[in-house]
Chains A and B, each alone.
Chain A
């Protein structure tokens, strides 16, 4: 399991990615999909997923459809056109970030030089 600090900044991107791959999903489905896809390494709490879903809806990235399931209502989330653009931008940004982190962590010789210089 990764620490919540590490996961925190990626929740929006994860949700947008899932919704760009699936036409529509509901909250529980999103949490399960993330847990399964990461083999339990990332498990989102309720406080991590639902506020973000509602924020994305308020800012126009997501739209909702309500459906009756038995005796309750289920809210399905899907990307709007604006959300689709945001999803692509976020994924691009995230991929770029990962590449940067990778190069940082691989300790290129040029970078090592700066890290190893003792600070005055």
Chain B
């Protein structure tokens, strides 16, 4: 008899089904809401974190400044106050009185017919300039090594009384006040279509192209939650890979790859680590030094173009946040506001598949005339 009535179609089953359906829908809704509720205050929290990061950076900078000052005074005294200062283009200060026991002579006493005569080898202003130069150099070393992204050469220094150096920041420090990681609130923000800002992990950091592991350069850890999304190209300023290696080592700088004139690729720092080649771009970038003096008459070789092209394609296949385009593969001159012009203007971006890449000139910059660039 029940069978005849068809128990599966009893009316109350519809009520039960309705309630069950409603329950599942509600639980589904709660599940989504839960993501939102877990992140109540998330943005505010990240703003606070940005402020905290700023405080940490101030503590770091203050302590760095103390050590930079001590080291600068030591260096100044050690070098007789006449450190030979060179920038990229010229020698700014030269020692006047030679060296004694390896240290530059600061003050000389000469015997003359009329007695002894003091000969200062530099004036006070050049001592101050030297001190500031050394201080800035030491400060940059500390800041470059910092886990935070400090802009380099960013202070306008003044020497106050009693050897007090006052540094005023030229450009402000900038912080992301939105979480660097992808917040799990896509369900109502629609943010899933945006490019992920979170740390991107490569499939592997082992290159898929032939490389040599002959050289190893210093590094530190990349900033947490920073996506590696740029490849930065440089020219080395010399004509052999080993010279580049020595220079970088002497200057406490480093880069992930050095591409020699014959196309040989040297893998000096693991891609997962932070090499020191582009200031505040270090954490997010992989650096490639291309061996070239920068002089106008030195062309980049076919082998170098072929190696660089295969290397950047290989990196793009391994790093999800790197693409072979003008935004992700850039020159050092694009990453730094002033002074940098590498790779030199005769680097042909078209040869690595970027024919419309912004040139140095297009950015209103010029290569130095000393290198034959008008």
Q: Do A and B come from one complex?
A: no
